[in-house]
A and B are shown apart, each in its own frame.
Chain A
Amino acid sequence: MAGPLLEVRGVTKNFGGFNALEDIDFEVQPGERVGLIGPNGSGKSTLVNCICGSLRNDAGSIRFDGQEIGTQPAHRRIRLGLARSFQIPRPFASMSVLDNLRVPLLYAANARAQKKLSHGEVAAEALRILEQVGLAGKARDTSGGLTQVDMRKLELARAMASKPKLLISDEAMAGLSASEVDEILALLCGLKGLGVAVVMIEHVMRAVMKFSERLAVLVAGRKIADGDPQAVAGIPEVVKAYLGE
């Protein structure tokens, strides 16, 4: 193995006088499944935004696939194979579900591929991904009218359509019912077979414990633990951060 797929070193992000992230180190190996947890406001989404380029980190370095990406615009990072889903679904609401997937296929997957997909192949590939997530029956529907759980699936499908090496799932399960959580969980677990590394940000502990091969914990902008999920979940500091004393 040539080294980690994602390597975050000493990343710091301030909003005015507020330190949202302080000196964060975080790694993801190729194909690895990592859980990232922390109370609300602990900096999880800020970290994702810094990694994916929606925000610029104030200090530290972010390397992806052996390349420094900290200064690159978001669309370049996506094209390198770094995809994310949004905590609050952000579909392209005027487009059909299928057309939503065309965007990353045309702009991210095609930009990286040796051989570009034709328009027919793009549609076929989009439909294949929709089948994987169970949305094929709604391919022609307008995405703005989907139910919450379908919107989450669409978020993941759209992220998968960019053919990522690493997918960051930002609270894809928040507010869903137990059976819906299982559906999303099965989807994310299925990515392992495709060789895609996944970082799962989540509050649903049952899902996190089931999913993660490694667990990292953020509290107030600092990483307080990182390691085997069972061991991490037993650390008193982690328990305190989540449940109080």
Chain B
Amino acid sequence: MTNRVFAAVAFAVAIAFAAVTQLISNEYYFTAAYTVLQFVILATAWNILGGYTGYVNFGSAAFFAIGAYSSVVLYNAFKAPLPVMIVAGTLIAGLAGLGLGYLTLRLRGVFFAIASLALAVVLYTFVVNWDYVGGARGAYVLQPSEVPFGLPRYVHLLYIAMVLMSALALIVARTIETSTLGRGLAAIRDDELAAECSGVPTLRLKIVSASVSCALMGMAGTTFPYFLSYVEPSSAFNLSYAVNSIAMPLIGGMMSWVGPLIGAVLLGSVQQLVQVTISSAWNLLIVGVLLVAFVTLAPNGIMGWIDLWRRRGRG
């Protein structure tokens, strides 16, 4: 499938998903779907740097929060419309990714992971002490009373925005994966020194990869303030974002765009289910148990397991 055909299919599916708002009246489903899709974007974005390039980012929550808090700033400053928030948050998170990449991607492996974790802590402290966005108290971001496009509630609009953003994230990930850039990133993941000696400008590619990955993570956070109507640092910087955006690609498979999608839908849905049936406190425990199970039983994730199974079937 060419990139254009894939993009067309992805957007067609997205529009079909968006049309569901006209059919189902129970709002809860959209709230739940919004949360799952948010993880689809985070997992897909994380995988661009983590899966394709082989650099583990522990700071996903920081980029998610950059997206969320840039929306808070735009809301406080001039009640900016939603599309402006989405674009601005994506760009700012992308710039932060560029900065982090430039400063730390000379470090290899585990050192980069530690630096990304440090960034999350630094940003958290910064936001807690920044009064304009509410500091530790948090900030209210009220949903507009008028809902555009004749939609019943504002959450429907947020859900549709999330559906479209997920489609965009998947298209970006797949385009990178099948491009020359993706080939270069895979070379870096496999052997960085050999990649450099094959003519791959490793530092530049890593920075591009980090910028795109972080921009998409930020994008996932831009609608978050409207979704909850209230943002405070510990929810925007929640550990669950960092853990889930690593766990989901790991469980789904990190070699292609399908893996994070499967992982996020699976893990995200299970978490939603547990949240309403058992307790929200169980969420991270389930992620942890699944992570341990997959790392020991299917280290290449669900997609890796399917590949293996197919190859056995053939040969």
Contact = CB atoms under 8 A, between A and B. Distances in A.
B131 interface: no
Interface in B176-190: 180, 183-184, 186-187, 189-190
Interface in A81-123: 83-84, 86, 90-95, 99, 102-104, 106-109, 111
B193 A108 contact: no
A75 interface: yes
A40 interface: no
B47 interface: no
A111 B199 contact: yes
Interface string B193-206: 11111111111000
A79 interface: yes
Given A78-B196, A86-B193, A107-B199, 19 more contacts: A54-B196, A75-B196, A75-B197, A75-B198, A75-B201, A78-B197, A78-B198, A86-B194, A90-B193, A92-B195, A94-B255, A95-B186, A95-B190, A103-B195, A103-B200, A106-B184, A107-B184, A108-B199, A161-B198
B183 A54 contact: no
Contacts of B202: 75
A74 interface: yes
5 contacts: A52-B197, A75-B201, A79-B199, A95-B186, A99-B183
A162 interface: yes
Given A73-B196, A162-B199, A103 B191 contact: no
Contacts of A92: 186-187, 190-191, 194-195
A104 to B, nearest CB: 4
Interface of B: 180, 183-184, 186-187, 189-191, 193-203, 255
A64 B184 CA distance: 25
B200 A107 contact: yes
Interface of A: 52-54, 73-75, 78-79, 83-84, 86, 90-95, 99, 102-104, 106-109, 111, 158, 161-162
Nearest to B255: A94
Given A90-B191, A93-B191, A94-B255, A107 B198 contact: yes
B184 A103 contact: yes
Contacts of A93: 190-191
Interface class of chain B by DSSP: helix
A79 B199 CA distance: 6
A108 B199 CA distance: 5
Contacts of B186: 92, 94-95
A108 B190 contact: no
Contacts of B199: 75, 78-79, 103-104, 107-109, 111, 162
Contacts of A106: 180, 183-184
Contact of B198 (A53, A54, A94, A158): A158
- In the complex, which of the residues A53, A54, A75, A83 has the most CB atoms of chain B within 10 Å of its own CB atom? A75
A54 B195 contact: no
A106 B24 CA distance: 50
Contacts of B255: 94
Q: Which 9 A-B pairs have the closest CB atoms?
A: A108-B199, A107-B199, A92-B190, A90-B194, A104-B198, A78-B199, A74-B196, A90-B191, A103-B198
Contacts of A52: 197
B180 to A, nearest CB: 5
A156 to B, nearest CB: 13
Nearest to B300: A94
Nearest to B203: A73
Nearest to B188: A92
A199 to B, nearest CB: 15
- In the complex, which of the residues A84, A90, A95, A103 has the most CB atoms of chain B within 10 Å of its own CB atom? A103
Given A95-B186, A102-B183, A103-B187, A75 B193 contact: no
Given A94-B190, A103-B187, A106-B183, A162 B196 contact: no
- In the complex, which of the residues B180, B183, B191, B197 has the most CB atoms of chain A within 10 Å of its own CB atom? B197
Contacts of A78: 196-199
A238 B43 CA distance: 59
Contacts of A102: 183
A102 B182 CA distance: 12
Nearest to B54: A94
Contacts of A79: 199
A83 B187 CA distance: 16
